[in-house]
Chain A
Amino acid sequence: MMRRRAPLPVARGGSDLGHTRPSGRVNISQPFPPFQVAMNQPMRRTISRLAILVSLVAAFVAGPAAAQTLNVEIANGLKTATPIAVVPFAQEGGAPLPTDVADVIRADFNRSGKFRSLDKADIVEAPSKGADIKFATWRLLKQDYLTIGRIIDAGGGMIRVEYELWDVNRQQSLLAQQFTAPAGDLRGVAHQIADQIYEKITGVRGAFWTRIAYITAVGVGNNTAYSLIVADSDGFNPQVVARSRESLLSPAWSPDGTKLAYVSFESGNSAVYVQNIGTGSRSLIASHPKGINSAPAWSPDGTKLAVSLSYVGNPEIFIIDVASRTETRVTNNFAIDTEPTFTPDGQSLIFTSDRSGKPQLYQTSISGGNATRLTFQGGFNASPSVSYDGKQIAMVQGNGNVYRIAIMDRSLGNQVRFVSPGNVDDSPSFAPNASMLLYAASQGTRGVLYAVSADGLVRQRLVLSDGDVREPSWGPYRQR
């Protein structure tokens, strides 16, 4: 599935951010796996158009049927990243499998910015057991680490995946683990293997086996269909969680990953809903007929939602207890106060306010009182996302007509660095380990999503092949 056209381009420093030079590209056509392998490009395009047509008609006439097609492109590569080889896993018996586990792991590593995996075409030997490894070969290929594995039919539709991680220079085994899972969940297994290897080498928990949520808008004008989608962190396995003929925005994951809070205009005005992803059951959390009901954010313990409500006259931050629906007002100011997000300790809120004239980020206690201004660089700072340790705040920073994603490091005297090139970038969302962010950008007249490493050096685009993609939100770690 992976077809490299050129070696990964190199990007050093922020100055290269503006150049998008696609190299690796993976085409994913989830709903039509039979067409996936053998089709040429124009044919595939026609099929995916048909797929969207069929799914749209189905959406309004029949009901379900989720057909989304995502392309994944690696925009920038990095030569300084750690070289690692992931050998295609040997398969011992059983039917051909739907997923190439090594491909998935390789793509995860490349996207992270921390690793550079050896091209599949350059893998000249295929050991599947430690005893078969010829270390000289991998040293010659300048690889620091080597991953090998085998896939065994465990019977009853189950697959056992065994893998080993080796240090090439020390000729030392670092990891030897196994997973047993249904054949249909091989991508999940591959992401978990990537997470374990990432943690073993970097010391930081991997976040590949996570999910993302985003909004798509397909169609034009009043025939636009909006969907809330949940997908794997690499954009695969997209599933429609909610549909609407009116705008959807601001999806927010509950800390346990079972629910999404989001805003829908389906009633004619903004309203905040919470939906269980597994059961589909949904409840209305805030729907004052007068004014805005928007910008939900979960408390770290999952019992409360911070929101922005304007029925009091102008947008103010409130905290709603999800079980009792009790509202507690936090801010009291004539400005627009919105986009609240809890700090990891649950004791403060960081939010956007234009009380000083232009929107800037502020922090206040959940019990209200004075707010402290956090941002001073740039004419426009909004949409905060806070890293798990509270040390970094990602935001949209606007200067003139250029809006980019910036990260303020609170442990480094509030230094601000840009991680996106602009011009209309929006909605930053940290991965749970803060190694990467998702954000929304614009290409022509449509929205696209990017995943970018926290240092800004490696970006990957996730693109819905038709329509507008926006409002990404990176979910929490999943429970094994």
Chain B
Amino acid sequence: MNKTVRVTLAALLCVGAVACQKKQDVKQPVQPPVQTTVDNSGANTNGKYQPSDLDTDACLRQRVVYFDFDKNEVKPEFQQIIACHAKYLQDRPSSAISLEGNTDERGTREYNLGLGERRGNAVSSALQAAGGSAGQLNVVSYGKEKPTCREHNDDCWSKNRRVEIVYTAK
């Protein structure tokens, strides 16, 4: 199918379904360094996070943790992200996160479901170690079912080996 047909198709589907306002996460495979772990400028109560911070705070806006090939250790550069999301969970006890584990395309679909879950569990453990509670965390593995990139190369694979932090309650 060429692009024109795809666009037409997308447009048709939008008109038909009246539901195209899905989340548009901007995902960056290489995370820029976070300057301030906790941004107090918008906070109105004792430096505690508010739901609005999810859209404005430089740290909280980062919601993807990337992994090395065949690894499920959370790398040091993601500790700041873990820390701010754990703080949010602490500050907002009614909030909840779904951790969506993903893998690259190498290996079978079923085995990759297991690998994605391992990565989700690793982020869940890290968030709990940093102060989040288990009751606020749910892990879902999609394995290699939801790639963000579909080329067969290292660059693409590194973008797909990830856990997405999705707030299901703010």
Contacts and interface: CB of A to CB of B under 8 A. Distances in A.
B106 A398 contact: yes
B9 A359 contact: no
Interface in B97-130: 105-111, 113-115, 117-118
A95 B35 CA distance: 79
A290 B117 CA distance: 11
A222 B109 contact: no
A219 interface: yes
B107 A336 contact: no
Interface in B129-170: 138-142, 145-146, 150-152
Interface stretch (B11-19, B45-53, B56-64): B11-19
Contact of B117 (A250, A315, A380): A315
Contacts of B151: 445
B150 A445 contact: yes
Interface string A374-414: 00000010110000000000001010010100000000000
B1 A292 contact: no
Interface string A343-375: 000000000101000010000000000000000
Contact of B9 (A56, A308, A427, A470): A56
Nearest to A401: B106
B111 A60 contact: no
Given A292-B141, A336-B115, A359 B107 contact: yes
A287 interface: no
Interface in B3-39: 5-6, 8-10, 12-13, 16-17, 22
B126 to A, nearest CB: 17
Given A60-B13, A249-B145, A359 B111 contact: yes
A292 B13 contact: no
B90 to A, nearest CB: 23
Contacts of A338: 110-111, 113-114
Contact of A426 (B6, B109, B118): B109
Contacts of B150: 445
A315 B139 CA distance: 13
B114 A292 contact: yes
Given A382-B107, A382-B108, A471-B109, A247 B145 contact: yes
Interface stretch (A20-28, A112-120, A264-272): A264-272
B110 A423 contact: no
A380 B105 CA distance: 14
Interface residues of A, number: 49
A467 to B, nearest CB: 9
Q: Report which residue of B13, B107, B110, B114 has the largest number of chain A beta carbons within 10 angstroms of its beta carbon.
A: B110
B1 A223 contact: no
Contacts of B114: 292, 308, 310, 314-315, 336, 338, 354
Given A247-B146, A310-B117, A268 B1 contact: no
Nearest to A292: B113
A336 B118 contact: yes
Contacts of B113: 270, 292, 294, 308, 315, 338
B106 A403 contact: yes
Contacts of B13: 56-57, 60, 223
B108 A352 contact: yes
A162 interface: no
Contact of B142 (A223, A265, A403, A426): A265
Contact of A60 (B17, B22, B108, B152): B17
A352 B107 CA distance: 12
Interface in A429-479: 442, 445, 466, 470-471
A403 B109 contact: no
Interface string B76-114: 000000000000000000000000000001111111011
20 contacts: A52-B1, A53-B5, A57-B12, A60-B16, A222-B22, A223-B13, A250-B110, A265-B142, A268-B140, A270-B113, A308-B110, A310-B117, A315-B114, A339-B111, A352-B111, A354-B114, A359-B111, A382-B107, A445-B151, A471-B109
Given A291-B139, A338-B114, A382-B111, 19 more contacts: A53-B12, A57-B13, A60-B17, A219-B9, A223-B10, A249-B110, A249-B145, A250-B109, A292-B113, A292-B114, A295-B110, A380-B107, A382-B107, A383-B108, A398-B107, A401-B106, A403-B107, A424-B152, A426-B108
